[in-house]
Chain A
Amino acid sequence: MEIKLLYFLIPSLIMFCCGVYGFLTRKNMIAILISLELMLNSVDINFVVFNRYLYPQAQEGMFFTLFAIAIAAAETALAIAIIINLYRATKNVDVCDANKLKG
């Protein structure tokens, strides 16, 4: 039995939904970032699998995924820098407690 394209999209969909659930539910800012990484990874899997199955002679999906990985790394680094700055100011990384704009 060969593995069809549809079989790859189901774990990717579940990973995306877990990312959505974690993004909306978690209180810790770093846990929200982890859920964001889950969402980005599921989209990368979709790109790669569609490229391989539907357009095996072109490489656009792979290049898009390559650049998406680089952009996700840059964005995660900057988000963690902001979170560390916020932690230095308020000693707290809860999203619910970060509701004052100044001070």
Chain B
Amino acid sequence: MEIMFAIVALAIIIFSVLTVTTRKILRAATYLLFTLFATAAIYFMMDYEFLGGVQIAVYAGGIVVLFVFSILLTSKPGENSEKLASRRRGAGLIAAVATAAVAGWALVSRCCSFLGAKPEMEFYTMKQLGTDMLSTSRGGYMLPFEAISVLLLACIIGGVVVARRR
């Protein structure tokens, strides 16, 4: 279990660093794919199987394919992608390091309540998930469900209108 966590954490760190520092954009999309697989592995380790499945299906299988399509539509990959990242590199590095420093200090100074062991979780069945998603009582998520369906409709209509051929 510790070895699995070490491998997944190393994969996340290495691939996310490679995603933002590579010069070729198609490689960045591939490294993003590996990062998303490692994230799904974390979801599976946390006993959220449905969420891991959704992550793989939607993110790794939908969004990355969308990225690859758009990359191949808007550039010739490999040809003129030499200077992909040269826009104020110093300021970006300072911002990223400052974020890491502030958040890291906040983590470390409050670490006393974050060092417990993993508690037991009863198995969360799909039937319970469906009941929770569609219920209107206290633990239900009917309102976000309907709101997100309206959002997806708006996104579909907007996408078709924006990318329409004149």
Contact = CB atoms under 8 A, between A and B. Distances in A.
Contacts, number: 224
A46 B83 CA distance: 33
A38 B116 contact: no
A62 to B, nearest CB: 5
Contact of B152 (A57, A74, A80): A74
B86 A93 contact: no
> Chain B interface residue count: which class?
35 or more
B87 A37 contact: no
Contacts of B83: 27
B54 A33 contact: no
B148 A5 contact: no
Interface string B147-160: 01001100100110
B62 to A, nearest CB: 6
A62 B162 contact: no
Given A20-B95, A21-B93, A70-B151, 5 more contacts: A10-B107, A27-B86, A30-B25, A52-B118, A56-B121
11 contacts: A11-B8, A13-B107, A26-B84, A27-B84, A59-B129, A67-B148, A71-B148, A76-B66, A81-B162, A84-B163, A93-B75
Interface of B: 1-2, 5, 8-9, 12-13, 16-17, 19-20, 25, 28-29, 32, 35-36, 39, 42-43, 46-48, 50-51, 54-55, 58-59, 62-63, 66-67, 70-71, 73-75, 83-89, 91-93, 95-97, 99-100, 103-104, 107, 111, 114-122, 124, 129, 132-133, 139, 141, 144, 148, 151-152, 155, 158-159, 162-163
Interface of A: 1-28, 30-31, 33-35, 37-38, 41, 44-45, 48-49, 52-53, 56-59, 62-63, 65-67, 69-78, 80-85, 87, 93, 95-96
